[in-house]
């Protein structure tokens, strides 16, 4: 009886594994380059292209949209912004092992004082057109990339607003008072308290390095509590930011 059940069960396992494998291949088929696109508010730079690659052996359908992007504490707030941009094509079917260019054009104000941040959302969809199946669109994969509209002469300016111990972590609040976002790839954080100074490099800044602070935004990060830190009035400054 066991062998009988086993013989009936194995084909089901094979089909399930095969189905999951095909779905995994399709889900990993979509690649976007570059992951950060910068447009100018006017002139030729208001038009840019990004590339969408289908690495799978099957054609895939993709649709594109754009949202605003605001950082409020630990949250990212988004609202539809398609009316500020032109995307061509907005929907497309990409053949297997093919790369297609997608053009984005800024339609908003030609003048601005500060960089504006957006999200470019690329959604791989499955469109069912077979008569025996219910027609519809199912989302398979979503890729979210960065889009900036940047005027000339913008610059980031990160300021340490607050330092506070929270258990075994150190809470560091940063404000970007500049006019351009700052992606913190590496940095040095200097903490001072009366005559005591602690200098933290990249390896001591896990939880902070690799994050992005948009222009005008305030964000809080938790890093490992450094040795020698004690409660008190600490001041902080960032340097060697890349």
For residue range 35-69, list pLDDT tens digits in order: 999 999 999 999 999 999 999 999 999 999 999 99
pLDDT at 10 over 80: no
Could you report the per-residue pLDDT of 165-184, keeping only the tens digit for each? 999 999 999 999 999 999 99
User: Same domain for 129 and 171?
Assistant: no
Domain termination residue (choose one: 128, 149, 170) = 149
pTM over 0.85: no
| Cα 49 to Cα 129: distance, rounded to the nearest angstrom | 30
User: Same domain for 107 and 163?
Assistant: no
Give the CA count within 13 Å in the CB-facing half-sphere of 62.
32
Looking at residue 21, its pLDDT comes to 38
Mean pLDDT of the chain: 87
pLDDT at 113 over 70: yes
Count of domains for the chain: 2
| Cα 124 to Cα 126: distance, rounded to the nearest angstrom | 7
pLDDT range class, residue 9, cuts 50, 70, 90:
very low
- In a domain? residue 21: no
Could you report the per-residue pLDDT of 68-103, keeping only the tens digit for each? 999 998 899 999 999 999 999 999 999 999 999 999
In the DSSP assignment, the letter for residue 4 is: H
Q: Which residues pair with 139 in a beta bridge?
A: 125
Domain termination residue (choose one: 90, 124, 149) = 149
Q: For residue 26, what are its two tokens? A: 């399709």
Task: Give percent of the chain above pLDDT 70.
Answer: 83
| Closest-CA residue to 147 (of 233, 93, 212) | 212
Looking at residue 128, its pLDDT comes to 61
Exposed, middle or buried, 50 (CB in 10 Å: 0-12/13-18/19+)?
Answer: buried
| Cα 240 to Cα 212: distance, rounded to the nearest angstrom | 16
**Which residues are within 8 A (CB) of 190 and not within 5 positions of it... i.e. 6 or more apart?**
197, 198, 199, 200, 236, 237, 238, 239
CATH of the domain at 217: 2.60.40
User: Same domain for 35 and 124?
Assistant: yes
User: Same domain for 141 and 162?
Assistant: no
- In a domain? residue 17: no
Segment 223-234 shows an average pLDDT of: 93
Looking at residue 24, its pLDDT comes to 42
User: Same domain for 88 and 176?
Assistant: no
Pairing assessment for the beta strands 169-176 and 60-68 based on DSSP bridges: unpaired
């Amino acid at each position: 009886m066991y062998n009988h059940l086993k013989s009936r069960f194995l084909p089901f396992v094979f089909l399930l594994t095969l189905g999951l494998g095909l779905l995994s291949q399709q889900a990993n088929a979509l690649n976007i380059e570059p992951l950060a696109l910068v447009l100018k508010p006017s002139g030729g730079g208001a038009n840019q292209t990004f590339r969408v690659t289908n690495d799978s052996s099957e054609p895939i359908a993709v649709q594109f949209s754009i949202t605003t992007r605001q950082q409020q504490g630990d949250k990212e707030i988004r609202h539809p912004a398609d009316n500020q941009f032109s995307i061509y094509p907005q929907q497309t079917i990409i053949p297997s092992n093919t790369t297609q260019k997608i053009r984005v054009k800024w339609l908003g104000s030609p003048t601005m004082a500060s960089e504006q941040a957006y999200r470019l959302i690329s959604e791989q969809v499955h469109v069912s057109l077979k008569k025996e199946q219910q027609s519809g669109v199912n989302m398979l994969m979503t890729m979210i990339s960065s889009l900036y509209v940047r005027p000339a002469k913008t610059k980031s300016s990160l300021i340490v607003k607050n330092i506070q111990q929270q258990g075994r972590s150190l809470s560091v609040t940063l404000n970007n008072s500049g006019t351009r976002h700052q992606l913190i790839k590496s940095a040095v954080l200097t903490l001072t308290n009366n005559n005591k100074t602690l200098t933290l490099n990249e390896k001591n800044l896990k939880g902070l390095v690799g994050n992005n602070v948009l222009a005008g935004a305030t964000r809080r990060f938790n890093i490992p509590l450094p040795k020698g830190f004690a409660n008190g009035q600490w001041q902080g400054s960032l340097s060697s930011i890349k």
